[in-house]
Amino acid sequence: MKPADKIRQAIEGVVGKNIDFVVEHPADEGHGDYATNVAMMMEGNPRELAQRLAEKLKKSDVLGEVVDLPRIEVAGPGFINFWLKEEWLVGEMKSILDQKKNYGTNKTGKGKLAIIEYSSPNIAKPFTIGHLRSTVIGDAIANLLEANGWKVFRDNHLGDWGTQFGKQICAIKHWGDIDKIAKSEYPVKELVALYVKFHEEAQKDPTLEDEARVWFKKLEDGDKEARELWQKCIDWSWVEFSKIYDLLKIKHSTEFNQGRGLGESFFEDKMGVVITELEKKKLLGIGKDGAKLVFFEGDKLPPMMIIKKDGASLYATRDLATDKYRLEKYKPGLVVNEVGAEQSLYFRQLYEIERMLGWYKDGQRVHVGHGMFRFKEGKMSTRKGNVIWLEEVLTEAVKRAATLGKGGKNDVSQKVGIGALKWNDLKGDPKRDIVFDWDEVLNMQGNSGPYIQYTYARAKSILGKAKNKKTTLKMVLNEDENNILRALYRYPEVVVETVKNFTPQVVATYLFGLAQRFNSFYNLNKVIGGENEGFRLELVSACSQVLKNGLLLLGIETVEKM
């Protein structure tokens, strides 16, 4: 049983279970490892109640296992503060050494399935720095759910359908060289150049737009040439997508098209049953111009268009078909869409429709929204060719990482450079916008991926030099040792907390704090050859293990030497 649970059990043994109170970490660690407001939830003088409760709790057999009973104290208007036993903290350190990579994992999600949709680039369009956010955040959320016992399917909902393909095919037919594109190291750049040219030429000759619509209609109708060119665009795009995913160490589940993901095109023939179900349940209304929409009770949300006035489907129609397919084939307990925060209203509408249809219950559909990467002068635009290609950023990150060490190996530079990019994205609130700045995006100092990786490498270096393999149980800790132990035991709680609100940044914040404590300890205390060498080596080993476990949850690799 966790310390917080034991504290709650002991309190309920004294006051009963009818009082709503919290047991949490105080904001200031100087006030203990845990605190409760139970006395403030009861009738009477909170301070006096807290004093009486504290005296009773000091005699608790339940608390005696984990809490330093003499150090139960009352603070402020009536908070009761608890300090954990040093013996228990040392025992938890031993648990880290015993469990190794499994430390921090739990089985709270055992028997449950989650589908996480993330990355989802568009075929024949740039894989830009903007796609990094969904890719990295979504991957971290999937890792965290797995650490909490969930079975996770990772889907890549590719944008491989829509009117833009009519424009792309039209551009290829007018100005494209298929052999040149096929032989190019960067075929998507060739496709983007053609797409930009289409929009430039269409401004001069509006009939090109009509021609593009004809080509998309051919694509929808299964025209052989249109389908072949469309498939080539997909295959050419995957040449570049695969390189990027390999660099980022990102994988999607083989259940979805052998890891390529189920794109929008997969659901083209699955929309009819959704329309029929909406009509049977009388959820489709007719708009003023003849379009079919879902209207929400009490106008709590704007109506959502499902079918255009000309009978064409929309993105929402395909998304509903996607979620119905997932529900019927996999029966997930949770489906997460990691998509830009600007789509918040859209997903609220979508989830409400799915609730009205009885497909999913509250809490089973989650939108994790991220802010955008922006230029100082505005948004990126594929039509204008105003984009920052992600592969260029990855290459630059590895190049800059190589300058941190003295002739570091390429694989180390790659891990450090990619780690810097991922950390920069994961260390803060995903919803924040990021103005693109090379120095900030590839920050290698301070609260950065390389700082955490370096701390891990430093710990491994100490362990590599150690000759003393025996352990020493030290029961009188100095302040620096105590600070590390009081951070280490919180790691499993952090893993649980991140899944409650889908917040990978909580792990990043924790790891940065742990790394700071470790470096402070190392700078002020002699490990090898010092007093209690065996104990301190165990402390270093436990710290390195938790740093590694946490980094891997964020999708960041460790390095043994830097």
pLDDT of residue 370: 94
Mean pLDDT of 503-518: 97
Mean pLDDT of 227-248: 95
Q: How far apart are CA 158 and CA 315, in angstroms?
A: 12
Q: How far apart are CA 62 and CA 82, in angstroms?
A: 13
The total number of structural domains that make up the chain: 2
Q: How far apart are CA 405 and CA 98, in angstroms?
A: 33
pLDDT of residue 50: 96
Residue 200 lies in a domain: yes
What is the share, in percent, of the chain residues with pLDDT greater than 90? 77
pLDDT of residue 162: 87
- In 110-167, beta strands by DSSP E: 113-117, 151-155
pLDDT of residue 405: 60
Return the DSSP state at 521.
H
Task: Report the length, in residues, of the chain.
Answer: 562
Which of the listed residues 238, 259, 290 is the one where a domain comes to its end? 238
Residue 391 lies in a domain: no
Q: 410-465 pLDDT, tens per residue?
A: 789 999 999 999 998 999 999 988 777 777 766 767 899 999 999 999 999 999 98
Residue 346 lies in a domain: no
The CATH code of the domain that includes 47 is 3.30.1360.70
Residue 188 domain boundaries: 159-238
Buried b (16+ CB within 10 A) or exposed e, 104-114: bbeeebeeebb
Q: How far apart are CA 312 and CA 163, in angstroms?
A: 11
Average pLDDT along the chain: 91
pLDDT band at 352 (very low <50, low <70, confident <90, very high): very high
Mean pLDDT of 28-40: 94
Which one, of 160, 508, 132, lies nearest residue 340 by Cα?
132
Poorest-pLDDT segment among 51-60, 118-127, 176-185, 435-444? 435-444
What distances in angstroms separate CA 402 from CA 221, 388, 398, 444, 450, one per listed residue?
Answer: 52, 22, 6, 11, 11
Which of the listed residues 210, 238, 266 is the one where a domain comes to its end? 238
Tell me if 279 sits within 8 A of 287, measured CB to CB: no
Mean pLDDT of 387-399: 85
Q: Is the dihedral of CA 28, 32, 33, 39 positive or negative?
A: negative
Return the DSSP state at 525.
S
Buried b (16+ CB within 10 A) or exposed e, 152-185: bbbbbbbbbbbebbbbbbbbbeeebeeeebeebe
What is the share, in percent, of the chain residues with pLDDT greater than 70? 94
Which of the listed residues 211, 238, 265 is the one where a domain comes to its end? 238
Answer yes or no: is pLDDT of 37 > 70: yes
Answer yes or no: is pLDDT of 533 > 90: no
Mean pLDDT of 120-129: 89
Q: How far apart are CA 299 and CA 33, in angstroms?
A: 47
Poorest-pLDDT segment among 76-90, 182-196, 430-444, 474-488? 430-444
Tell me if 215 sits within 8 A of 170, measured CB to CB: yes
The residues with which 368 forms a beta bridge, in sequence order, are 338
Residue 262 lies in a domain: no
Q: 296-337 pLDDT, tens per residue?
A: 999 899 999 999 888 888 889 999 999 999 999 999 999 999
Residue 473 lies in a domain: no
pLDDT of residue 375: 64
Tell me if 4 sits within 8 A of 34, measured CB to CB: yes
pLDDT of residue 401: 86
3-state secondary structure (DSSP) of residue 105: coil
pLDDT of residue 472: 60
Other CB atoms within 10 A of residue 473 CB: 12
Answer yes or no: is pLDDT of 409 > 70: no
pLDDT band at 407 (very low <50, low <70, confident <90, very high): very low
Residue 410 lies in a domain: no
Residue 288 lies in a domain: no
Residue 514 lies in a domain: no
Q: 516-525 pLDDT, tens per residue?
A: 999 999 999 9
Q: Which helix (H) or strand (E) holds 515?
A: helix 505-524
Strands, sheet with 284-286, edge to edge from the N-terminal-most edge strand: 284-286, 292-294, 304-307
pLDDT of residue 468: 65
Return the DSSP state at 67.
B
Which one, of 233, 230, 235, 226, lies nearest residue 260 by Cα?
235
Ordered alpha helix ranges (H), 249-291:
272-280
Poorest-pLDDT segment among 38-52, 105-119, 180-194, 430-444? 430-444
Instruction: Name the token pair of 377.
Output: 């002068």
Other CB atoms within 10 A of residue 16 CB: 8
pLDDT of residue 312: 80
